[in-house]
């Protein structure tokens, strides 16, 4: 395996080297970097032209300029990268550090959301083949896959930012809108759970009543301005997380593991009051990560003590339940910071259409939780754009791979032994169906960086897309080559992780 990885690294390095030569040659021959100065009527035009020639090395042959850039890149192996300067003399190193943070934050969140949602929808669509849910997911996948990025981004700016801000000035949900939202949820839940027509009708009616009641209650107490989950919703969500973990592992009939999950929820209830002061100001990410680590340890301990002969499964269920409840507690505290952020937002309009921060960090005076909203609300709209397109591909590939897997002979053998559909789908079919998906994930991360160029331009993000676009406009090779290093390096790294994932999902590949 080590030899295989080293060989892949060597091949990838050669490909990136050849690609960098091609890109550099194409870049320096794509236009005239002095075009704007040649048309200038400034008295010091000649001095400005000579300064740019010196900054960009235009009086040197192309191969000598490329070797200079390559020499600076080779110093990255000793953590002393020198990516050169822009045409104005600014350091590309500093420009890349400032830009990469915004772009990688956007692409990473979009990738993880797309994988989780897309794979989940694909699996459920395969299990409910030719049902109403399957047809709805298929229609949505083709719709989102063919959706132009720029058009979707403009629509989200209008409805998700401008009109949402107008609504937040006096938030209220009409009875008609509440009924429409409840109906959408009812149709989705009924088609997802399936069953006979009577069962779907009952499920839909119950879901409609619950969602309608929740939205109506939220509207009456102006929850949209001062949101919070509260302890009752946290407990309901924790029980839902426990039910999900049980369904995905041993089912609801195993009392030992069920009791382990309930004890985990009880300990979470105690910790809700004990750790409350730690989540107040001055909270920070180190406190959050430390509490998350403690949550995992408590879940492992409960599963180990109460699991008996099924300790491993009990530990998985307890940890999943604990993390689900911890996430709800985190969201409860985060939502309580919305009111404070809303008061600080310019003009009372919380979501902006330009920039990666709603309020300039130097001028922001809120606490930790309000600071999350400051960069989080700006992350929502561009993330939705990138996620929708990737979800479409993941759901279709997962559905096809899952259908192919569940028709294999070993799946029929597992069913003939009397195994339940839950065990067949989760323990036998899903793992093998995920092998082709790892390839899609590897390429999708790099392609999202390319799609982020358009998305960042529309939403005014100062990320890698802006740096790449300015380099192209100014015929400045160094910023473009810096973007190539990040995008190419991401592609190489993700392909390497895909190879390791192959070996983890299918032990035969290790040989």
**Among the residues of 351-420, which ranges form H helices?**
368-406, 409-416
Tell me, what's the pLDDT at 298? 94
Tell me, what's the pLDDT at 511? 52
Tell me, what's the pLDDT at 263? 94
In 3D space, the residue among 210, 224, 208, 211 whose CA is nearest the CA of residue 173 turns out to be 224
Spatial separation of the C-alpha atoms in residues 345 and 322, rounded to whole Å: 34
Distance of CA 281 to the CA centre of its chain: 27
Distance of CA 56 to the CA centre of its chain: 37
Tell me, what's the pLDDT at 184? 92
Chain position carrying tokens 């997962």: 398
Q: Token pair of 415, please?
A: 């069913």
Tell me, what's the pLDDT at 327? 95
Spatial separation of the C-alpha atoms in residues 368 and 9, rounded to whole Å: 41
Rounded to 5 degrees, φ, ψ at 163 are -75, -30
Spatial separation of the C-alpha atoms in residues 302 and 323, rounded to whole Å: 13
452 close to 430: Cβ distance less than 8 angstroms: no
Phi-psi category of residue 30: left, alpha or beta, with phi > 0 → left and psi -120 to 50 → alpha:
alpha
86 close to 477: Cβ distance less than 8 angstroms: no
Tell me, what's the pLDDT at 443? 73
**Angle, vertex CA 222, rays to CA 218 and CA 227, nearest 5:** 75
Q: pTM to 2 decimals? A: 0.81
Spatial separation of the C-alpha atoms in residues 218 and 147, rounded to whole Å: 33
Spatial separation of the C-alpha atoms in residues 447 and 145, rounded to whole Å: 14
Spatial separation of the C-alpha atoms in residues 27 and 13, rounded to whole Å: 21
What is the mean pLDDT, run by run of 10 residues, along the chain of 511 residues? 73 86 90 84 84 86 90 82 84 85 82 88 87 84 84 87 89 92 90 79 93 92 90 92 85 84 94 87 86 94 89 91 95 92 86 80 82 87 86 88 87 83 79 78 72 78 83 89 85 75 64 52
Beta-carbon contacts of residue 252 (< 8 Å; ≥ 6 apart): 243, 246, 258
**Angle, vertex CA 440, rays to CA 501 and CA 142, nearest 5:** 145
């Amino acid at each position: 395996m080590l030899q295989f990885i080293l060989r892949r690294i060597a091949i990838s390095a050669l490909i990136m080297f050849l690609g960098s030569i091609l890109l550099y040659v194409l870049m320096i021959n794509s236009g005239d970097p002095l075009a704007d100065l040649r048309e200038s009527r400034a008295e010091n035009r000649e001095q400005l032209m000579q300064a740019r020639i010196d900054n960009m090395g235009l009086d040197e042959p192309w191969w000598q300029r490329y070797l200079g850039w390559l020499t600076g890149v080779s110093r990255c192996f000793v953590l002393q990268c020198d990516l050169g300067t822009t045409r104005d003399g600014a350091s590309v190193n500093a420009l890349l550090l400032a830009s990469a943070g915004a772009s990688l934050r956007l692409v990473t969140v979009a990738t993880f959301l797309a994988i989780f949602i897309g794979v989940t929808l694909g699996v459920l669509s395969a299990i409910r083949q030719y049902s109403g849910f399957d047809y709805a997911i298929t229609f949505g996948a083709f719709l989102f896959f063919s959706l132009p990025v720029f058009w979707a981004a403009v629509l989200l700016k209008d409805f998700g930012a401008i009109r949402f801000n107008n609504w937040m000035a006096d938030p209220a949900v009409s009875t008609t809108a509440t009924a429409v939202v409840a109906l959408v949820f009812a149709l989705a839940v009924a088609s997802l759970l399936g069953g006979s027509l009577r069962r779907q009708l009952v499920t839909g009616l119950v879901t409609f009543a619950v969602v309608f009641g929740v939205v109506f209650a939220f509207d009456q107490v102006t929850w949209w301005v001062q949101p919070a989950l509260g302890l009752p919703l946290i407990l309901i969500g924790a029980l839902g997380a426990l039910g999900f973990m049980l369904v995905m592992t041993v089912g609801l009939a195993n009392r030992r593991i069920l009791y382990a999950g309930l004890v985990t929820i009880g300990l979470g209830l105690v910790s809700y009051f004990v750790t409350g002061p730690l989540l107040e100001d001055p909270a920070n990410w180190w406190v959050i990560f430390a509490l998350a680590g403690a949550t995992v340890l408590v879940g492992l301990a409960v599963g180990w003590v109460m699991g008996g002969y099924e300790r491993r499964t009990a530990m998985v269920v307890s940890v999943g339940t604990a993390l689900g409840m911890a996430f709800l507690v985190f969201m409860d505290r985060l939502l309580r910071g919305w009111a404070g952020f809303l008061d600080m937002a310019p003009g009372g309009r919380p979501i902006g259409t330009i920039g990666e921060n709603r309020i300039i960090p130097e001028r922001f005076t809120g606490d930790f939780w309000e600071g999350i909203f400051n960069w989080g609300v700006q992350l929502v709209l561009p993330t939705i754009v990138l996620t929708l397109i990737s979800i479409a591909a993941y759901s279709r590939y997962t559905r096809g791979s899952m259908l192919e897997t569940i028709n294999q002979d070993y799946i029929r053998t597992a069913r003939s032994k009397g195994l339940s559909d839950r065990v067949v789908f989760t323990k036998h079919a899903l793992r093998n169906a995920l092998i082709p998906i790892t390839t899609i994930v590897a390429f999708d991360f790099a392609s999202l960086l390319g799609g982020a160029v358009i998305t960042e331009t529309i939403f005014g993000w100062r990320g890698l897309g802006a740096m790449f676009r300015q380099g192209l406009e100014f015929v400045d090779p160094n910023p473009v080559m810096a973007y190539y290093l990040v995008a190419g390096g991401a592609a190489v790294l993700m392909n390497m992780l895909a190879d390791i994932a192959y070996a983890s999902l299918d032990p035969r590949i290790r040989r």
